[in-house]
């Protein structure tokens, strides 16, 4: 039995000899590389925190103490150390291990975490909560109390919420440890003054530098008297590594490091000393993203979250990686389309928030470096910055995952819509996203943006329609506009796309132009790429029902002429969307019917149900909620003849929480 296989809980890790831990680290890396190479997943960020995860679980008892993750995609080693090795083989599926912290899997996971910047604030909350309930660690009053640790990484420290958390962490009068995993990377190369500061710190300090003047420093910083008391309780190694003139000390936080995040004995010693400091402190740990796989170390951005790949080792060429190919993605199609727009219009600028590869903006950034920007993990800042550019007469495009747009909704409201500025949102990963699961689904962009007056909301169904939507948005200067598209390959089913006309749907089934002459049994209005599955469903029905199918194109303004034409003739209408049924395109249609006093009793809405959909393949998720071909065919039958055909009802598929229950009983 390997060392990793012998671990059921971290208690087993704490019984190992220190000399065995390097072997354990290698076993963890080997398992993660093997699995992610076969299925895809977050690779480089997890390889970089193997030793750090081992050291944390070696020193702290997180069955009692609190461990909070900031960016959750660095949790694989933590999961393997907390009894979930058996779930690794089905990583990112319903039967296996989520790619993010998941409380239903294990009591060692406290929050579902998929966004960034939140770890410090939730840690401050738990530190205060334990203090109020009398459970918090206090060396004199409650030495057995709960300690709080939060692990920050992938440059999320620059996020605005992280800044707010730091500002409040410095006011704590109890233990709280912030472990800053500084790997010199975000998802891509980090941006901004903070990144430059860390670059300087990593190359300019040695332990001997820190030791000089440490006591004098403690006297001068805010809260210095409290920190000076903490200093006297530290070991000599930690004293020697106190960072002189650290940026974090302006928040009243004692700062130690940077230390080598791959040196297990050093990590364990520092954490052991930091464990009992009863003041908030930051341990600055320097790691290498992708550690242990040379190609991932050389290109951590490419291997941040790769698709499945093959690894071959050649004596002459070294490690060779071949990515398993698939079809052309919407992201690639967007990249080419945006580059073309920027080539033709010098007023177009673009930005992304730490996701140039993920959103397809790497190509325009390389091609037009003076008009393309990566702000780091700062969605709110990015959108405000683009609002400023729009005010200067430019035409900004913001490429962002739908799930991360939520972080900038206030800016979409206040600085864009309220000002009547033409900022364009390009929402990648809209709808169900597959293996990343509930933390990353783009299921509410329509519902939140539809509340903004004059907003224009578009969905693309394929590459030609995506190209035409960007061109439409390019010249739409009077209000916020947005186009959504999924994490999927583009379809070639529908051929060339006509130009977009504001608030007008596109008929996909010729022959139904005149509803009086050719009345359908049911009208399907699909919003977005569900049009592909809807088309296949209609074909599968053959002559069973006469179905007219429209690509709705716009959720706002909706095609009121079409809706009035359908409902005034009492034609059953089925709306389809890869978005929540709450507040989505179907809701917009019902509101339109009410506004015009039309009978909407024959309208059936179908989309993502009002519940969480957890990790699995995107196709399996679409099947689960009935947005695959069979589910849509069933809904068409029900819409046409509700007395004869039952609607599709998404089953409640429970995740396997037996591992969490077993772990709970052990801890």
pLDDT tens-place string over residues 111-168: 998 888 889 999 999 999 999 999 999 999 999 999 999 999 866 787 888 889 988 9
What is the average pLDDT value for the chain, to the nearest integer? Answer: 88
Structure confidence at residue 240 (pLDDT): 56
Terminal-to-terminal C-alpha distance of the chain:
23
Confidence of residue 232 (pLDDT cuts 50, 70, 90): low
Residue 306 exposure: Cα atoms within 13 Å on the Cβ side: 28
Q: Which residue has the higher pLDDT, 184 or 82?
A: 82
- Judge if the upstream peptide bond of residue 557 is cis by omega within 30 degrees of 0: yes
Indicate the pairing of strand 254-260 with strand 372-374: unpaired
pLDDT, tens digit (0-9, with 9 covering 90-100), for 332-343: 999 999 999 999
Cβ atoms of 72 and 28 within 8 Å: the answer is no
Find, among 606, 609, 612, the residue nearest to 654 by Cα. 612
Using the predicted structure, report yes or no on whether residue 210 has a pLDDT greater than 50.
no
Confidence of residue 305 (pLDDT cuts 50, 70, 90): confident
Residue 527: which residues within 8 A CB-CB, separation 6 or more? 446, 459, 552, 553, 555, 575, 576, 577, 578, 579, 584, 585
Mean pLDDT along residues 340-359:
95
Using the predicted structure, report yes or no on whether residue 293 has a pLDDT greater than 50.
yes
**Distance separating alpha carbons of residues 628 and 165, to the nearest angstrom:** 42
Cβ atoms of 526 and 458 within 8 Å: the answer is no
Residue 542: which residues within 8 A CB-CB, separation 6 or more? none
**Distance separating alpha carbons of residues 362 and 356, to the nearest angstrom:** 5
Burial classification of residue 140, based on how many CB atoms lie within 10 Å of its CB (0-12 exposed, 13-18 middle, 19 or more buried): exposed
**Distance separating alpha carbons of residues 637 and 240, to the nearest angstrom:** 73
Indicate the pairing of strand 372-374 with strand 348-352: parallel
Angle at 272 between CA 267 and CA 277, to 5 degrees: 120
Structure confidence at residue 202 (pLDDT): 43
Mean pLDDT along residues 407-424:
96
Cβ atoms of 321 and 310 within 8 Å: the answer is yes
Cβ atoms of 572 and 639 within 8 Å: the answer is yes
Cβ atoms of 208 and 236 within 8 Å: the answer is no
Give the containing element (helix H, strand E) for 116. none
Burial classification of residue 279, based on how many CB atoms lie within 10 Å of its CB (0-12 exposed, 13-18 middle, 19 or more buried): buried
**Distance separating alpha carbons of residues 385 and 364, to the nearest angstrom:** 18
**Distance separating alpha carbons of residues 333 and 497, to the nearest angstrom:** 14
Q: Which domains does the chain have, with CATH numbers?
A: 4-292 (3.40.50.970), 330-484 (3.40.50.970), 506-640 (3.40.50.920)
Using the predicted structure, report yes or no on whether residue 219 has a pLDDT greater than 80.
no
Residue 231: which residues within 8 A CB-CB, separation 6 or more? 214, 215, 218, 239, 242, 254
Using the predicted structure, report yes or no on whether residue 321 has a pLDDT greater than 70.
no
Confidence of residue 659 (pLDDT cuts 50, 70, 90): low
Confidence of residue 237 (pLDDT cuts 50, 70, 90): low
pLDDT, tens digit (0-9, with 9 covering 90-100), for 365-387: 999 999 999 998 889 999 999 99
Confidence of residue 256 (pLDDT cuts 50, 70, 90): confident
Cβ atoms of 253 and 281 within 8 Å: the answer is yes
Mean pLDDT along residues 559-587:
97
**Distance separating alpha carbons of residues 40 and 487, to the nearest angstrom:** 14
Active-site residue list: 289, 379, 407
**Distance separating alpha carbons of residues 540 and 543, to the nearest angstrom:** 9
Residue 268: which residues within 8 A CB-CB, separation 6 or more? 18, 55, 58, 59
**Distance separating alpha carbons of residues 96 and 597, to the nearest angstrom:** 49
Burial string for 576-593 (b: 16+ CB within 10 Å, else e) reads bbbbbbebbbbbbbbebb
**Distance separating alpha carbons of residues 369 and 382, to the nearest angstrom:** 16
Find, among 206, 209, 208, 232, the residue nearest to 219 by Cα. 232
> By percentage, how much of the chain surpasses pLDDT 90?
71
């Amino acid at each position: 039995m390997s060392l990793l296989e012998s671990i059921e809980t971290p208690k087993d890790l704490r019984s190992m000899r220190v000399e065995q831990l390097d072997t354990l680290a290698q076993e963890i890396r080997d398992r993660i590389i093997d699995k992610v190479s076969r299925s895809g997943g977050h690779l480089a960020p997890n390889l970089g925190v193997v030793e750090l995860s081992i050291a944390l679980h070696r020193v702290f008892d997180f069955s009692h103490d609190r461990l909070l993750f900031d960016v959750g995609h660095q949790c694989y080693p933590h999961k393997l150390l907390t009894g979930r090795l058996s779930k690794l083989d089905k990583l990112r599926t319903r039967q296996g291990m989520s790619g993010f912290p998941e409380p239903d899997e294990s009591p060692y996971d406290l929050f579902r975490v998929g966004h960034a910047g939140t770890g410090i604030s939730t840690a401050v909350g738990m530190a205060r909560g334990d203090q109020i309930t009398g459970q918090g660690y206090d060396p004199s009053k409650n030495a057995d109390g709960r300690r709080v640790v939060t692990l920050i990484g992938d440059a999320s420290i620059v996020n605005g919420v992280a800044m707010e958390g730091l500002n409040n962490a410095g006011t704590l009068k109890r233990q709280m440890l912030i472990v800053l995993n500084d790997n010199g990377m975000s998802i891509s190369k980090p941006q901004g003054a903070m990144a430059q500061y860390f670059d300087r710190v990593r190359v300019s300090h040695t332990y001997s530098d820190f030791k000089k003047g440490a006591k004098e420093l403690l006297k001068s910083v805010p809260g210095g008297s409290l920190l000076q008391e903490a200093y006297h309780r530290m070991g000599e190694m930690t004293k020697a590594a106190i960072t002189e003139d650290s940026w974090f000390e302006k928040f009243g936080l004692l700062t130690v490091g940077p230390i080598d995040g791959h040196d297990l004995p050093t990590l364990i010693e520092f954490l052991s000393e930091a464990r009992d400091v009863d003041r908030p402190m930051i341990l600055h740990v320097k790691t290498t993203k992708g550690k242990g796989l040379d190609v991932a170390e050389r290109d951590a951005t490419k291997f941040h979250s790769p698709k499945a790949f093959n690894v071959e080792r050649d004596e002459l060429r070294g490690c060779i990686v071949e990515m398993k190919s698939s079809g052309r993605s919407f992201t690639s199609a967007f990249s080419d389309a945006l580059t073309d727009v920027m080539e033709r219009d010098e007023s177009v600028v673009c930005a992304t928030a730490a996701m140039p590869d993920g959103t397809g903006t790497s190509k325009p950034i390389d091609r037009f470096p003076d008009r393309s920007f990566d702000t780091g993990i700062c969605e709110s800042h990015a959108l405000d910055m683009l609002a400023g550019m729009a005010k200067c007469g430019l035409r900004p495009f913001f490429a962002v995952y739908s799930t991360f747009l939520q972080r900038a909704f206030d800016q979409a409201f206040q600085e864009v819509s309220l000002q009547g500025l033409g900022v364009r949102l390009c929402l990648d990963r809209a709808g169900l996203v597959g293996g990343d699961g509930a933390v990353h689904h783009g299921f509410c962009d329509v519902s939140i943006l539809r509340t903004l007056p004059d907003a224009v909301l578009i969905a693309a169904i394929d590459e030609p329609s995506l190209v035409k939507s960007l061109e439409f948005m390019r010249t739409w200067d009077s209000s916020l506009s947005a186009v959504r598209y999924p994490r999927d390959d583009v379809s070639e089913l529908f051929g060339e796309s006509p130009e977009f006309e504001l608030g007008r749907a596109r008929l996909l089934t010729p022959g139904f132009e005149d509803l009086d002459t050719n009345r359908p049994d049911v009208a399907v209005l699909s919003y977005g790429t569900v049009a592909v599955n809807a088309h296949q469903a209609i074909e599968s029905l053959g002559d069973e029902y006469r179905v007219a199918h429209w690509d709705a194109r716009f959720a706002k303004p909706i095609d009121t002429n079409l809706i009035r034409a359908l409902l005034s003739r009492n034609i059953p209408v089925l709306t389809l969307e890869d978005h929540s049924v709450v507040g989505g395109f179907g809701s917009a249609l019902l509101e339109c019917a009410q506004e015009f006093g039309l009978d909407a009793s024959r309208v059936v809405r179908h989309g993502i149900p009002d519940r969480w959909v957890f990790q699995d393949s995107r196709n399996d998720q679409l099947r689960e909620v009935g947005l695959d071909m069979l589910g849509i065919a069933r809904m068409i039958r029900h819409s046409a003849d509700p007395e004869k055909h039952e609607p599709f009802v998404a089953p409640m598929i429970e995740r396997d929480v037996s591992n969490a229950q077993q772990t709970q009983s052990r801890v």
